[in-house]
Amino acid sequence: MGLLVVGSLALDSVATPFDKVEEALGGSATFISLASSYFTGPVNLVGTVGEDFPKRYIDLLAEHKIDLAGLQVVPGKTFRWSGRYHYDLNVRDTLLTELNVFEKFNPVIPDKFRTSKFVCLGNIDPVLQMKVLDQMDDPRFVVCDTMNYWIEGRKPELIKLLKRISVLIINDSEARLLAGEPNIVKAAKMIREMGPQILIIKKGEHGALLFMENNIFSAPAYPMEMIFDPTGAGDTFAGGFIGYLHKTNDLSPENMNRAVVYGSAMASFCVEQFSTGGLEKLTYPKIQERFRAFLKLSRFDEKD
């Protein structure tokens, strides 16, 4: 029972107040797949790159037991993104977006991937996300990411998609935009009424909120002394979240809470280095150690 990940692969150029990198490995499918690979395998990846995509990056993905049968290598240049972060690393300027071969990405799911019961749809056009689901054989659990660009430009298509997914992951400003409601709790209720049983709202340095029937769970953010690069943290969260659920095959509310904390733990590793550096040489014991550190942040004894 595989885990399918569909999204972008990119070459990112990122500058922060501390350092910068040029044409480093990026993209939603990349971060999701690497994060989830520490919990389960193989991870089935579907995406597209150009002929200029470095072989060392393909080798890195393969070393993490990511099945690349769905990776399309087509003539042209790989998707490129460039951004600059401010001293407040929650604020960034996009300097360059070149879709290149990704502009014509048509996700074709290999036959051996179509029986995957767990699916993670990275932040791509909701029309493409629906096209993926149309090719699947009755997936059990579908996690979906989106952004304000699609909420504003593809809202009718996104609303149709929401009726077909299990979990929507967005940030707090996107939740308010989608619901048209400033109160985050009311917005969450309205979004869940659109279709997804579960909603996760990311709040950056303030952690994450999970909303599902009769269950609201708040996960703290890990107190980092140094954040080098926030790029990909949200995708890494999604990868850790669905990877843990796929590993345990347990969709109970209690295990959903654990998955949110594992997702937060993986995101905390991601931001410690540029690009995918923080995800490349982890071990499961190290991940469990960070998970337990998260638990200590919010655990206390009741006293009369």
pLDDT score at 146? 94
* Model pTM score: 0.95
Q: Per-domain residue ranges for the chain?
A: 3-298
- 89 Cβ contact partners less than 8 Å away, ≥ 6 residues apart: 16, 227, 230
pLDDT over 70 (residue 301): no
Q: Is 211:194 a contact under the CB 8 Å cutoff?
A: no
206-234 per-position pLDDT tens digit: 789 999 988 899 988 888 767 888 899 99
> Which residues have CB under 8 Å from 74's CB, separation 6+?
48, 49, 50, 51, 101
Which amino acid is it at 213? Answer: E
Q: What is the 3-state secondary structure (H, E, C) of the chain?
A: CCEEEECCCEEEEEECCCCEEEEEEECHHHHHHHHHCCCCCCEEEEEEEECCCCHHHHHHHHHCCEEEEEEEEECCCCCEEEEEECCCCCCEEEEEEECHHHHHCCCCCCHHHCCCCEEEECCCCHHHHHHHHHCCCCCCEEEEECCHHHHHHCHHHHHHHHCCCCEEEEEHHHHHHHHCCCCHHHHHHHHHHCCCCEEEEECHHHCEEEEECCEEEEECCCCCCCCCCCCCHHHHHHHHHHHHHHHHCCCCHHHHHHHHHHHHHHHHHHCCCCCCHHHCCCCHHHHHHHHHHHHHHHCCCCCC
pLDDT value of position 142: 98
pLDDT value at residue 304: 63
pLDDT in tens, 56-68: 999 999 999 999 9
- CATH code: domain 3-298 is 3.40.1190.20
